[in-house]
Amino acid sequence: MAFSKQLAIIYPNREFGGIYSLGPLILFNIVNKIPGWRCSRQYLDSNNLKGINLIGFTMQYELDFYNFEKILLKNNISLEKSRKEIIFAGGPCVNTNTKPMENYIDFFILGNVENVISSVLELYTNNKDEFLKNISKIKGVYIPGLNKKIDNFDIDLDKIEYPILQPFPDRITEEFVFGRVFMLEIERGCPFACKFCLMKKFYDKVHYRSLDNIKQIIDQGVKINKVNKIIIYSPSFTHPKRKEILKYILSKGLEFSVPSLKVEYVDKELLELIKNGGQKTLTVAPECNELLRKSIGKDISDEIFFKFIDYANFYNFKKIKYYMMIGLPEQTEKDLGELVDFIELSKKRFKGELYVSINPFVPKPGMQFENHIFDKKLIKKQLMFLKKHLKVKFKVANINLSHKEWLLANSSDFRQI
């Protein structure tokens, strides 16, 4: 079959991470079913844009703005919009703030790509100006200087087609951390309103897939892709039928992995199901000490985390991952001292390995703390306090890169940062 029109969707980082990104898979599945179109998934370390005039980028991390530039330069594509190629972008970074990329992107898709892409391709023409003018009338398409930003985050997950086909390269290395799996998205949005999180900017309410739809997706996905493990995609894993979903996966003789857990939604039955699914590590995000945790919108006591640890001990889980933050608004040395005590008590209580990751808080447009200043000097001082007082080993994110992420997220042009 001859393809007259081609679209490349690019995850601007390494393939071993991007292969697990759902956005490119959604486009890949939709576009390749449209007569006359062919869609390819490409990456920072695996790309060839020769002869492709419609090129999309999924921007997951601000630091990948620089990889966007690298990919264009490698393929001799100009950053200037006067080029013949049409370049669009979507993903959380540009949904947060389009400004850093507006000088280089022809149009943005704001919100759910499923609601937009087919309409965009129906109007495709080699006449770039005409094409952009025509698609400017589509809700969710933003063209700087031509129309206003109107997102399209409202969606019925049962009424959109799921990306069933999920190809992997012939050879995968140990860098592909999940191996060959099927990715199962069960919900979009989050019922919580943490002040440090962007999710509420994107979704006012949680959108759940129905259990029947999820069962059909599992049956088709496992059969077509010939895999025996499922990775569950969910911002909060609060689906009202989460236990039934896990039971159904187990009934099929499959393994699975669940995302970070909300400890207040965890009981012994849920952890037993997770254990039976083959998962050995549990991930939770206490964020900080109890008092500060409540003030930032995460009203969960330390005692609930300790109860979670007791459940994990009961089922003999080998590792718990804690994700914590420094540089939060009004975070004091007293807060850090209580954080140290909380981690030390958690380590003492848990029979397995406690992995602690410390991450600088990065304020971004759209969150309640968007005007908070990323104070690199203060964050380094807080980190020194933790290194002095915390006996448990911990990993810390690169403060300089986190600072650059903040600058990029709030910039008007990424090339000026």
Instruction: Tell me which fold the domain 273-417 belongs to.
Output: Transcription Regulator spoIIAA (3.30.750)
In the chain, where the domains are located? 5-142, 155-259, 273-417
Residue 191 structure tokens: 């019922």
Q: What confidence score (pLDDT) does residue 177 get?
A: 87
Which CA distances in Å does 338 have to 334, 344, 392, 397? 6, 10, 14, 21
Q: What confidence score (pLDDT) does residue 352 get?
A: 97
Among the listed residues 382, 383, 373, the one whose alpha carbon sits nearest the alpha carbon of residue 407: 373
Say what the pTM is: 0.94
Angle at 273 between CA 268 and CA 276, to 5 degrees: 125
**pLDDT tens readout for residues 105-142:** 999 999 999 999 999 999 999 899 999 999 999 999 99
CATH superfamily, region 5-142: Response regulator (3.40.50.2300)
Which CA distances in Å does 276 have to 219, 232, 254, 412? 19, 15, 10, 49
Residue given tokens 């330069």 in the structure block: 73
Q: What confidence score (pLDDT) does residue 54 get?
A: 97
1 pLDDT more than 60: no
Cβ atoms of 176 and 16 closer than 8 Å: yes
Percentage of the residues of the chain whose pLDDT score is greater than 90: 94
**pLDDT tens readout for residues 35-52:** 999 999 999 999 999 999
Q: Mean pLDDT score of the chain, rounded to an integer?
A: 96
Cβ atoms of 140 and 98 closer than 8 Å: no
Q: What confidence score (pLDDT) does residue 2 get?
A: 54
Instruction: Tell me which fold the domain 155-259 belongs to.
Output: Transcription Regulator spoIIAA (3.30.750)
Q: What confidence score (pLDDT) does residue 85 get?
A: 97
Residue 131 structure tokens: 């094409």
Give the mean model confidence (pLDDT) for residues 314-332: 97
Residue given tokens 């010939």 in the structure block: 226
Confidence of residue 3 (pLDDT cuts 50, 70, 90): low
In this chain, the answer to whether the domains covering 5-142 and 273-417 adopt an identical fold is no
| Secondary structure percentages of the chain, helix, strand, coil, to 5 | 40, 20, 45
Of the listed ranges 7-16, 93-102, 193-202, the one predicted with least confidence: 193-202
296 pLDDT more than 60: yes
User: In a 3-state reduction of DSSP, which class is residue 27?
Assistant: helix
